[in-house]
Structure 1
Amino acid sequence: MPRYKALSAELDPCARQLVERLRQLKDHGELTMRHLAAKTGYSAKSWERYLGGTSLPPREALEALARITGADPVPLLALHEVAADTWDSRSARTAVDPRPATQERELEKGQEQGQGQEPEPVTLIGPTAPPAPAPAPGRIPHIALTAGLAALTVALLAALLLMLRLDGDVTQAAVAAPPSTAAASPSPTYTCRISRVDGSWSAGINKGRNDEIVYGATGADVAEAQCLLRRAGISPGGIDGMFGPLTLRAVKTFQQRSGLAVDGMLGPRSWKALRG
């Protein structure tokens, strides 16, 4: 199996799960980058970016990969839809205005002239304003004092307005605050009651359902899976009905131990193995 580069820590969990699933499908189908390019219509360089987590693959590429590997495209497209939002926001955060090229050239020119020589003045193109008349020598202290008092007055007014605004925000937040957590409804609790029902293991929580659940899911189906994972000797953390990182790691460990596709999703095959 080829070694892939570690994925960026900035990737959203859904985007990370999408890339890992694409890698699994490629490895399971024993496909090379040339095979992917020939069978999907997307270049080998594009697939390197998709599998490296540096570029979000289009929906058509996911459907083509699912078609040639015989996989269900629906989970891939669902992960793609969630990952697209986080991918767009991350791209917007990394956009930075470049430094003007003319300013870079002038700085480099000034450094090359050496110590002791003054750089040539930079001429900026744009509308020019007439020079302000120089104040009379005797009025300079008076003008400086007046400007200082004006700046101090503006700063004090800005600070006062900021304090009034913060005080209003705190009051509004206190009025709009929800009731205390003590009055909120408690989270549901689950108890594992492991038993054999018609030859299959059951925890007595979700009435024997085998619905597909993925990372981020909550409820009785997740709690049922957590109980069965614990029965199999793999700790999913607490029995809290939340498909979090600990439960995801336990699911992948169980799938690897059972010879199943290690995709972190509990589908019909994984449920069958858990209940077997």
Structure 2
Amino acid sequence: MPRSKTLPSELDPSARQLVSRLRRLKDHSELTMRQLAAKTGYSAKSWERYLGGTSLPPREAVEALARITGTDPVPLLALHEIAADSWGGRRARPAVQQQDERQEEQEDERQDEQRGGQQESPTSPTTRPLAVPTAPTPPRATEPAPGRFPGIALTAGIAALAVALSAALLLMLRLDGDASQAAVTASPRTTAASPPPSYTCHIARVDGRWSAGINKGRTTEIGYGATGADVAEAQCLLRRAGISPGGIDGMFGPLTLRAVKTFQDRAGLTADGILGPRSWKALRG
């Protein structure tokens, strides 16, 4: 996928940030779409949709891309959670259309597998002689009789609609219950190895600007899922502005995200939840 291709304008900032990070990982790894498909188990056309911003990548696909590029998956998965919430607007599409898109992705994956099998060299050491002559073809016996097709199609459509509606309802319930914990989720090995660092706010005016004395006045852009001293500095300054970000823990979670958007709205800035140079300048006053 060319780097110059622009993302859809209707993408929420959180979803846009997730897709942009996945694009950067793919570009830095210098993997082609076919190599990416071979390493992750998702077809090349599926990755074109994910990196083009037209389909939300599954959680497993995000984990697979992070794994093969040597990247910590925790911030990406936290960002995926909130991106899935913003992607919920697409649930307004007809359920049958969503089912058609999923079937199209599955068909793409089957075609990629068949092409990959045809392009294998017979002399390759990895070729399995027993697998070459057998190509998966649908048996004719399973085709419905002409007279029964309308009834079968109607039943299949109703079943697909019921499955899609159930999945949407479960996703909404899961997002409502887990949104407050998404950003602070860490792997068991990380939490068991060492406790999170503690931060203390030392609010003071330095060269006419407010500072909490934690990140030495940096204005690094940070967003949902970020961690560290920059986040702790922002949390202190948000508290100084009278907006509670939750604890001063250096984790850009749901409470901090809500506080940032509230501050941006009060300051007349775009309330996208991302702290960039303009938002830092307003925070430091």
Is TM more than 0.5 here? no
Task: Mark the structure with the bigger radius of gyration.
Answer: 1
**Length-normalised TM-score, structure 1:** 0.41
- Structure that is richer in helix per residue: 2
Instruction: Compare relative contact order (CA 8 Å, sep 6+) and give the higher one, 1 or 2.
Output: 2
